[in-house]
Structures are given as C-alpha cells and as structure tokens.
Amino acid sequence: MVDQTKLDVNGTVSNKNGAPSDEAQSLSPSGAVAQSSAEFIHDLVTLAELQVQLVAIDGKQGLTRLVAPVAGVLFGAILALGCVPVALATIALVLAETTDLSAARSFALVVGVGGAVALVLIAACTWLLKRSLQMFARSQREWQQNIRWFKETLRRLRSKPVGPAGSWTAYR
C-alpha cells in the first residue's frame, strides 16, 4: 500500500526514496532511551505532584481531626485544675447535709470524684490525640510505594540489554 510505512531488512523505517526517514531516527537505540527516559521523568513528576496533593489532603483532614481531641484535652485540664469550684462545693455541701458525712469528708469525696472524671477525660482525649497525629500515614505509605517503584524502574532501565543497531524494542 502507498500510505503504509516500509521497513528495510535491518528493521529501520525508510521513505519512498529508500533513505531512512525521520521516524527511523526517533526509533534508534538512543532515541528509544531518550523516549523511555522522558516517559520515566514524566511518570516521576506526575507521582511527585500526586504525592504533594495527597500530603495536602492528609494535612487538612488531620488538622480537622485534631480540633476535637485538643479541645477535649484543654477542657479536661481546665476541669482538673479548677474542678469547677462552685459546682463541686455545692455537691459537697449537699452531701454533708443529706448524709452522716462531715463537711470535710464531703468536700474530699467531691474533689476526688471530680479529679478522677477529669483524669479519665484527659486520658481518653490524649488517646484520640495520638491517633489523630498519624494524619500522614497514608502519604507515608504512598511515598514508600513511589520510592519502591522509582528504584525498580531505575533497576530495570539499567539492566535492559542493548539490541542490534536499529532495534528500539529493547529499550521499551
């Protein structure tokens, strides 16, 4: 057919005159290496862009998840330090009046219970805070996979055999 590409005996593309065409130069071993390298660099840049986007998303989601635990820890700390004096004093006075406990024992009991509740709240929110600090775990896993892919690709490119002159398939 007139419009089909013709190959000579070496497998290089030639034009109608029989001279190697521009396509043949791009299919040379050095052209194939350049093309493979360009594709590799393109993939590498694309992965880097995706990695940056993933880090941004993980950071935003992680900061959103940090708000509630930090607020809880702060509230728990305020409760532990102040023990909401008026409410606890009221509870202690009610205990003293309705039971056989003295005022001192009633106050001690209320402060102990308030402190225990504050410690439980602080412990629970601290646990949530530690979980929330792992906000870049997904990015880190993806980064490790990308590094593994990068190393494997470099190893494959380095170990590819060089074919006969004009053969570009060995470089793909």
pLDDT of residue 141 exceeding 80, the answer is yes
Count of the separate structural domains present in the chain: 1
In a domain, 53, yes or no: yes
Give, in order, the Cα–Cα distances in Å from 79 to each of 46, 74, 88, 104, 130: 50, 9, 11, 21, 21
- pLDDT tens, position by position, 142-153: 888 988 888 888
Residue 58: give the domain boundaries: 35-171
Residues 6+ apart with CB under 8 A from 20: 12, 13, 14
Mean pLDDT of 4-29: 53
In a domain, 127, yes or no: yes
- pLDDT tens, position by position, 74-132: 998 887 777 678 888 899 999 999 999 999 999 999 989 989 999 999 999 998 888 87
CA pair distance 3, 13, nearest whole angstrom: 13
Mean pLDDT of 44-64: 87
In a domain, 10, yes or no: no
In a domain, 9, yes or no: no
* Residue of higher predicted confidence among 28 and 150: 150
Q: What is the DSSP letter of 102?
A: -
Phi-psi region of 159 (alpha: psi -120 to 50; beta: other; left: phi over 0): alpha
* Residue of higher predicted confidence among 4 and 127: 127
pLDDT of residue 100: 93
In a domain, 24, yes or no: no
In a domain, 126, yes or no: yes
